[in-house]
Chains A and B, each alone.
Chain A
């Protein structure tokens, strides 16, 4: 490519070269091919998600309507009914799980981020949490069965919540820790420089600044736990009746409903399982979107 005139002026770009892009150039062609490949593979990666959503919409939307949410699950072979008790049940179990997991995970995160540092205890806690995030969810169910169900003598919403909480704690703790750590050191120094104690700095500066990130962690943990069936199967069990404020009794849930009805020989129950799946996915999707929006720190407010 080098023009003869260039030899006198080493290092200078060839003056005669064109700036036009040409696919004859190997680099340009390679660039285009790889970019195209990357786009294609990304689309393929998205395909399962969208095909599942499409399937749910096609099969589940048929039964969508007010009665789906206001009526109880129908018995075998019966028509009509809804999944109202399961929607309420899922929400109740999730609330119980959050009440158990949030304080534990959040306080743990504050310890890890602000006090524990790299101490042995903190390292151990962090390691355990990481291992727990990968734990099969059915083990959480077995654990809650062996403790809460056996101890109280009955399947219950409480046991279901406890099982779900076990799944949530590590996620809440680890995401909250990273949110707390992401608070700039210079802000903490500003607080210390004003004469704030460590506790005041944590309470008034670090936690409020990290709140959007902590909420994201909670939402993500919730969204994940909500879809789990295994931990509820032998803890919350199921119930064909409305929740009446008694958390010591078995309770319905969307995930267990799907599990039970999907394999049912009755067409209508299978349809309800589809509708329940659509509802569950929608709730999870909304939670994820809320989490995304909450993370956006309001710069102008």
Chain B
């Protein structure tokens, strides 16, 4: 009896702990997917006959919104809902440009400090009240003036002086300095209903607001939001400026298990899979009447190399051999990225070298002039030989008392990283470097990397949810290497920081492109990150029931996902 009891207790405890540790991968964060844009505004698909039964699109996803309050929302799925229920001055279109959403036209002054947006006429909230320019200006100023309460969006107003509404149809934003990614910034400053958001006296009160009955001006109205059941239901907005969308109802349902999602899709319980698990892609392809959409994300997986400066406080603990560029180059040569793509990502990725993935603005910012170090164990050996790293008695190379021995750590939540670590360790061993893989929980990794430099090599990834390259570029600036900042490599290069500031102010896209290309060249030269792969996102929908979705195979740079408001507005039920 005792044994059974102990066994039971142990197994229950173990399962508690196990499930706790092996939870779903950390959510990717921030604003919605997609990059590029049409010159023309999207047309809404014609509505189906009035007497027909309301059409319903049921969407399965793996995570429910943290809140529907844009002031304090950090999960990508929440921004999918915001995009549907709220309008912004402009929104990102499919190919890297921005289209006018609330704004009909917009222009920037010659000094780049004043942005004038002319609103479309007759925009109304879901409750029937009209939206006026003052609503938008109030919103922007409120976000700007309350960094704690509007924690999630405040950084998008950095450099704003103020927003004003000279008349009901015009919004003017003045800035401290020219802001190159202004379109992107205002695309997440959602026009919320002022009455919903003005009554809060403290930041905490505002943050605790779930906005379960939020009112916006977007293509879909929020009908039901239930945090406990993980259900969001939306209905087509008949008063939407471009006409009511053809699909009458959207139901988002949260599934905790990828297998259950696929089964629900197969059984016809859901019509669209927001994120097909990589192990299930082939299964889903085999389901009749299904279209699988595979497109490159802006996310990537990298090997972080400890580049922390020796005079950092606290002192870094990285192997000093990592300061030798030859060692980093040899690593880059020695890693077989194609193997990682084939074995770990099951072909749903590509080898990549840059933190600015090709999917940013349809390839506009990716520096195509650079060719990655070719995978070649011989080249790796040659580089190390030339730099004076000589194999010791145990095969591990040495020089001046230093040995090419490294900790190779990764986020324990991931089931892909251990396999990548094994591949890398094997590659390294063949050229005389020893890497010891170890799983570490993500919080510890953050604490040991950011601002500290207590590591050698770390395998990690970025979701790349921001459609603008600015954030991705910022993680390599000196100022971010502090506790609470985003730099984990410790890279610090004055030239890079200068270019970073320049690209923020470069209003001419070609100029900004040139600077960003140069920044990528610097990172490729110095290798604080050895970027490994750029992954795909896979979605699927029932094409026998719904039509009007873009042909993703015809436009490989189409940057918007299936649930983006711009895309859903064009979809319609098969008659």
Query: Do A and B come together as binding partners?
Result: no
Q: Which residues of B contact A (CB under 8 A)?
A: none
Q: Which residues of A contact B (CB under 8 A)?
A: none
